[in-house]
Every structure is written in structure tokens, then in C-alpha cells.
Amino acid sequence: MQAEPIHWSIAPCTAYGIDYEGQRLGIGLDPVFQAVPGAWNILVLSCSIIDDLLPWTNPPGEFPVSVVSMPSAVATALQRHSETGGRTLGDLAATMRPGQFLQAIEGMDDLIIVQLFGPAWWDLVRERAELLERMNRNVVRVDFRGRKVLH
């Protein structure tokens, strides 16, 4: 049995949407996040606007359905690297905590997202990883069938 993917946001990506004019819309509802493991986590790590979406108090028509860093987060999640044993970076992001993920990819000099946003991306995500770890520290994930705590 495979463990349920870890999400680094305070809620699953599907919570990042609103009802507007009879439709459910929002950045977290994009089907790419169901299709590409870890892409949501990489976006959350790279984009602080995600923190401001819950609860949404602005007019519903202003709720974002995309952000500039979304394509690069998806591309990075699909990227494979020799140091990951053939796994995609998204697979790593879906099974690790933010700090663990950054440690795993730190030596990789060909990351798509760094090529697009430059070395400043590292400064942003190191700071965000610490914040996300603090925000999620009170959550303990348990596999009751397997009788073990998931990390």
C-alpha cells in the first residue's frame, strides 16, 4: 500500500477554489495538480500568494486560477535527475517534507525552476520551507491500517 501524498499547504489543493457564478474555480482545482504528483507542493514552496487564498475575503471574481510560477512548478515536478534514482522531483516533493526536499535537490545545478527564476529562488524557498514546516508541525499523519506514523 502506497502512502498518501504529503501536502505542504494548510489544506489540500482542492480547497484552494471558490464557487463563482455556478462554477467551482481556483488555482488548486487545475487538473494538473492531480496528474503531476508533487507539483502543488513545489508551487506552494515557490509562491507565497498561496498563503493568502484561505480564507478568501476579496470579491470572488478576483480569485486566481493561475499564477506566473505555476508552469515552472509543474515542469520542475516532472523533471528527473540522476541523483534521485530515476524518480521525478515531484515524486520526491509528494513524499518528503519541505526541508527534506530542499536537502535532496540542493546539489542539482540544472533545476528548471532555478534556470527560470535564478539563484534568488533558493533564498525564497529556504525561507518558505521553514515557514511551511512550522505551519504543518502540528499535523501527524498516521497510516492506521499499517499502524505507523508517516513522516
pLDDT in tens, 49-82: 998 998 899 999 899 999 999 999 999 999 997 7
Query: Which residues are paired to 69 by β-bridges?
Result: none
pLDDT of residue 1: 45
- Express each pLDDT in 78-113 by its tens digit: 999 777 788 999 999 999 999 999 999 998 888 999
**Bridge partners for 25 per DSSP:** 18
Instruction: Quickly tell me which residue has 540542493 as its cell.
Output: 106
Cα dihedral: 24, 30, 36, 41 (round 10) = -90
Confidence of residue 6 (pLDDT cuts 50, 70, 90): confident
Average pLDDT, the chain: 87
Give the domain ranges of the chain.
Answer: 13-150
Q: What is the DSSP letter of 54?
A: S
